[in-house]
Amino acid sequence: MSPRSLRDQAYHIIYERIASGALPKGDITSEVKLSAELDMSRTPVRAALQQLEKEGFVRIVPKHGVLVLDASAQRTGDLLELMAAAVLFTVGQVRRRDPDALGELADELSERMHAELAETDSETATGGLCAFELFALRRIVALGFNQEMMETLDRSASRLLWHRSCRRWAGPHREEAEAALRQLLLRLPAHGEAFPDALQRYVRLLKMTWA
């Protein structure tokens, strides 16, 4: 197997351990330990850790090991704003080129959201709603046919560990989360400040409840 393939394999394994909590935030591990656990040489593991450090998941501390980072509020806010910027840019571009596409997508996503809410338990099924949110954001950005924007969205969601951050869909936040997302989708084809205002409200809720 090529060093590149081994690097990618090591990256995905370590990333999944961080995402699943097998490598808890605040934990300290090491290149040597991970190499032994993954049954790989240190070269691909080191390259994988360097990539994870660039993405904000770990910090490599010389002579001390590898620290698994907890996301700061500032970093979380920056990534959410980056995702919102990709969505807002795309909507602006599509509104000028093919405004009907926004209305069609708004109807499609609103129907899917209604079905998702009907199928989920208000107390336990937060994962499906989290997944639907990201699906909806990706569908919006996909209308722009801009690969860079899509990669920005996906990379930001990955760094945020989106699928593990669903607190807004539980307890006292669920009603507000539902209202914010529903408004965001309904205002997708609207002109003026209606959609940017809805997006701002949605992002503000994400920041308040991110965990």
Res 157: pLDDT? 93
Res 1: pLDDT? 56
Give yes or no: residues 120 and 185 share one domain. yes
* CATH code: domain of residue 55: 1.10.10.10
Tell me the per-residue pLDDT of 84-106, one tens digit each, with 9 for 90 and over. 999 999 999 999 999 999 999 99
Give yes or no: residues 147 and 182 share one domain. yes
Query: What mean pLDDT do residues 43-60 have?
Result: 91
Range of the domain at 25: 3-68
Q: How far apart are CA 203 and CA 161, in angstroms?
A: 16
Give yes or no: residues 101 and 177 share one domain. yes
pTM of the model: 0.75
Q: How far apart are CA 192 and CA 45, in angstroms?
A: 50
Give yes or no: residues 79 and 42 share one domain. no
Give yes or no: residues 91 and 56 share one domain. no
Res 127: pLDDT? 85
Give yes or no: residues 64 and 89 share one domain. no
Q: How far apart are CA 93 and CA 175, in angstroms?
A: 31
Give yes or no: residues 42 and 102 share one domain. no
Q: At residue 21, does pLDDT exceed 90?
A: no
Q: Identify the domain boundary among 13, 42, 68.
A: 68
Res 125: pLDDT? 65
Tell me the per-residue pLDDT of 118-149, one tens digit each, with 9 for 90 and over. 887 655 568 899 999 999 999 999 999 999 99
* DSSP tally for the chain: helices H, then strands E: 9, 3
Res 25: pLDDT? 83
- Find, among 31, 195, 15, the residue nearest to 105 by Cα: 195
Give yes or no: residues 112 and 172 share one domain. yes
Number of domains making up the chain: 2
By percentage, how much of the chain surpasses pLDDT 90? 70
Q: How far is CA 82 from CA 15, 53, 123, in A?
A: 21, 19, 30
